[in-house]
Structure formats: C-alpha cells, structure tokens
Structure 1
C-alpha cells in the first residue's frame, strides 16, 4: 500500500482537512443540536456515536400501502407513480418511464463529453465523472429538477438536498452494496438516489442490478463487518471485506435479482439501503451512459460511515 493511502487511515488528517472546509460542515450544526451530539463539526463521526441502528423514515416505520394515499400531495402524482409509491415499502424502488426528454438527455451527454474532452474532470478508475454539476449548468439543472425533488421529498417526508452527481460513461462492474455505507444519515434512511439513463441500456454494457426488498435488511455498518476503529485511526477492514459480507447476506436471504434495462430518459429511484451494483461488462465496446444523483434529507446528520467523516455540503 502506498504511503498516501496509509495516511488516509489516520483521523487527525481528516480533522485538518475538515477544518479547512469548515463552511461546508455547517449543515450539521442544527442537526447535532437536535440529536444531542456533543462533538466538534470537524471531528470524526460514525454509527457508534448513535444508539439507534434502525430507520425512522415514515415509509420504513409505516407500510406505504396503508399511508401514502393519506397524504394530500399524493393526488398530484400520475396513476403509475401512485401505484409504485404504494409498493415502496415492499420493493424499495420506483421506475419513472421517459421522465427526462431526449433533448434534456442529449444536452447532458454533450456537457459530459465536453468536461472529459477539455480535461476539466477525469474519468475515475471505475468509469465515472464526479461532481459534474459543479462545472456544468446543464448537469446541475437535471440534478435540481423540481418534479424529481418533490417526489423524493414525498418519499422521505422531508425536504431533500441534492449533493452529488456521478456520470458514468461505461458500466462500473461494482459489486453489490448499499449506499448507506458510503453516504450515511442519522437517523438512518434519509438518503435517496436517482439513477438516470442517458441512453438506451444494452444488456451487454454492464447494466445496473438490484434486489427488490433488500432495503428491509438491517443496515450493514462498520461494526457489523468488524471494521472497528480507534480514536485516532480507522478500522483495518478493506471495502472488499464489506462487499464479501454483503454477498454472504444476499446468499442467505435469497432476494430476487433484477437487471435494469431502461430507455433513454428513464429514472430509477432507490431506497438508502437497497442493495445494488453493476453487472460485468460483456462487451467493452459498449457505453452505459448514465447519471446518478444522491440526495440527503435536509434536517438530519450527514456523514460517511466507512471513513467516519462528516459530509461536506455546499452552502445553499
């Protein structure tokens, strides 16, 4: 392991980095007070700071089949979306057909190509462009889509804040995981994601897969895969250890596996704890253009469980 990677395990370096980005930590100030957290905003934070390892989100505590139709705003969604909202508690996802127009999608694809070709942003080792919204008004406009935010706010029963975009050119091939190990909230369950198809997705391009109902599993957090940390150092488990445990849990529970083959402009919305990933790329010549937007609920504590770092959020 390189020295640079070893140093990332030491929390004091995280604290220094956080202090240099103090303004981007202010979003947690009121939430720390609300949930009785007594530590500096720049300090490490993880699930061991909280006694409750369950979700308090209303569609986790209640069955969506019984409660969504009681909300006044439910009537403003299309019949198809209403029906899917009724099944949210059992499935953990929604599929919006042709939500974005071909023109909107083409504009985003053009913007992503420009960011890559002009070397504003690199393509990472797992085939994605991070935070394109910071460089492209077109990407930011899709990220901030009002209709999408209203739907996601309905699902969480809290106002949502988009905070990250990931643009994929090719399939990621990522193993099964839940977003909550990366982007975590207290109370649990107040993250939500939207996966947007920027082209018709071919079955050989490494399409997304997910396990309906897997969001009802207990949250797999650091302690649950023995990733024990100290005051000054992160745990010695690797991310691959987390993935191994996730696959073991899946083998024990036998959830059905679905592969997502959407059309251009389709959107898949998934629960914070829904297990998903990318299938292997069968044809490396094929692209799998897509964009993921992650949203936090506004008034909760936002952090990253596996690295025990508070989330950095831009000021509104």
Structure 2
C-alpha cells in the first residue's frame, strides 16, 4: 500500500499513464491549440499555469451579468414545459435546479438491476471504497437510459455549448463526503464548463445521508491549487492535498455563513448543479439504509478539461 500511495503521488506516474493513453488525449491536444497553451498533454497542468499562457474566453453565458434577462428571452427556454421553466429560472442565482421524475420507475429499476449485476459479477469498478465508476461504459442498458436527448439539450443550453458525458459514479450508500466543488476534480478552462446531473435511484430518507448543497455558492471564487497549501511540488502531488482542500472549503463556508439545503429526492428525480456549487453528503444516521444514486459529470465540448487536484489532463473516450 505504501508503494501504491507513493506512485499515486508521483507526477511522473501520470506522465507515463498519459502517454500510454494518448489516444484519449486527442481532444486535449485540440483544446490546447485552441487556447494557445504551449505544452505537452502528457505533462502536469494547473489553472495557475494555464491562465499565464492561454487566450482568455468568456465564462458560461449564465454566469455573466444580466443572465436572467437573457435567459427569459431565449426561444429554447420559452418552448420548455412550465415546470422546467420554473426550475431553469433559478439557475443563475442559485446554481442548481431540480427536475422531478425525469427518470421513470422502470428506468430506475433497470439501472439498479444493472448495478447489482456488475457487483455480483465482480465487474463493478470500485474506487475510494464506496464509488462505482463508469457503469455507463460497462452497461449498454444504463448508457441508453441516461443518454436522454432532452436532458443533454438542457445541459448544453445551460452551458452555452454542447456537452459530452465524461464519467458516471454510482453509490449504494450515502457518500458522507465533505463540502466541495466538483471543479477541484473536474476542471475546465475557461472555468465553469462542467455540469453534473445527480439521479435518485430510490426515495431518499433523512437518515440515509442525503445530498446537501449551498445555494448561490457557485458565485464564490473558485478554490484551486493556487489558493491553498496543497503540499505538492514540481515532482509530487501533495500527500494531504485533498484534506487540505476540504479544510480550505470549510474555512470559506464559515466566513460566508451560507444556508444549507438537503435534497430529499423521490425515485427518478434529478438535481443539476453548477461546476462550482459547494455540495456533499450528509452523515448516514441509519447504517442499514441505502442511498442508491448515480451522478453524471459532463464537460462542455471544445474547452480544456483536466483535474486540478492531481494536475493531469482528462482522458476522454
């Protein structure tokens, strides 16, 4: 375990991994050229480095001034069902929206059966103890269900660019993860061009560790490696980088005193959130209860996509 942790913290490990997976870095190469970033896609990359070189571009349109006024005038928005219009209106101000019952009971049960099958057949790709990664790559049935044209059209509208699904994560239990922004894990340049969709795969109980989030926190400055002492250097990723990041976010929340909301979802409900919305998993009060859920992370097309915490470009299928 000690050797594995050392290798995970060694930036050279990722350089070699990137080279072996160079086929998955074609989009990164194109984005580097587009934004004038003069470096190899195999080597470490960070926001601090990118912003010194890259050609600047505007933030997502709904992060700009007068976003709500612009939103209401869009033909796409005007054609949405009334319930969706009500949900989308809150995006610029609150940084999230809820789509009730987007996935049918049958679709949810199919996803749950497929996850159970992957676990039973020992094909589930477990990471970080409680996360099942990339089920969309392992199950055509799951892939077909989550690729809803109406969902992806809405995500593209919110970002102002077409989106591409980057990864899926399934949870059987509550994550209990501390407050964080997904942009420390899945980062873009320009900032803000990642979006998440969280699907309730069962009715969520208060004791099962429901998702929590801080409305409006997406408007706070992004907290990236340059903003806290991550403990890394030219050769190594900081051994306690993520713990130090969580401490930095805790400090931000203590200073801002933002209200926290909890998502007590019904089966099939979907929560969409902004790349910088602070969120996490509540404590699991009843260890016997599950919290079956699936989160999908999407990158906008044509932007630089990478992982700030580990300083590596995103490998995209």
Task: State TM-score, norm by structure 2.
Answer: 0.95
| Alignment of 1:291 onto 2:309 | no
Within 1, Cα distance between the matches of 2:13 and 2:64? 38
1:264-304 deviation line (CA, Å, top 9, x unaligned) = 00000000000000000000100100000000001100000
**How much does 1:12 deviate?**
1.6
The runs of 5 or more residues in structure 2 that have no matched partner are none
Partner of 1:4: 4
Residue pair 2:231, 2:241 contacting (<8 A) in 1 also: no
Name which of 65, 68, 79 aligns with 2:71.
68
Identify which range, 291-300 or 8-17, moves more after superposition: 8-17
| Alignment of 1:216 onto 2:214 | no
| Alignment of 1:300 onto 2:303 | yes
Within 1, Cα distance between the matches of 2:8 and 2:129? 20
Within 1, Cα distance between the matches of 2:210 and 2:57? 30
Residue pair 1:161, 1:295 contacting (<8 A) in 2 also: yes
**How much does 1:229 deviate?**
4.0
Partner of 1:94: 97
Listed as ranges, the matches of 1:1-316 within 5 Å are 2-51=2-51, 56-227=59-230, 229-314=232-317
**How much does 1:80 deviate?**
1.9
Task: State TM-score, norm by structure 1.
Answer: 0.95
Residue pair 2:95, 2:215 contacting (<8 A) in 1 also: yes
Residue pair 2:162, 2:301 contacting (<8 A) in 1 also: yes
The runs of 5 or more residues in structure 1 that have no matched partner are none
Count of matched residue pairs: 314
Name the SS for the 1:15 alignment partner. helix
Identify which range, 289-298 or 221-230, moves more after superposition: 221-230
Within 2, Cα distance between the matches of 1:233 and 1:5? 11
Residue pair 2:115, 2:124 contacting (<8 A) in 1 also: no
Identify which range, 53-62 or 106-115, moves more after superposition: 53-62
Within 1, Cα distance between the matches of 2:201 and 2:58? 32
Within 1, Cα distance between the matches of 2:127 and 2:253? 28
Residue pair 2:11, 2:235 contacting (<8 A) in 1 also: yes
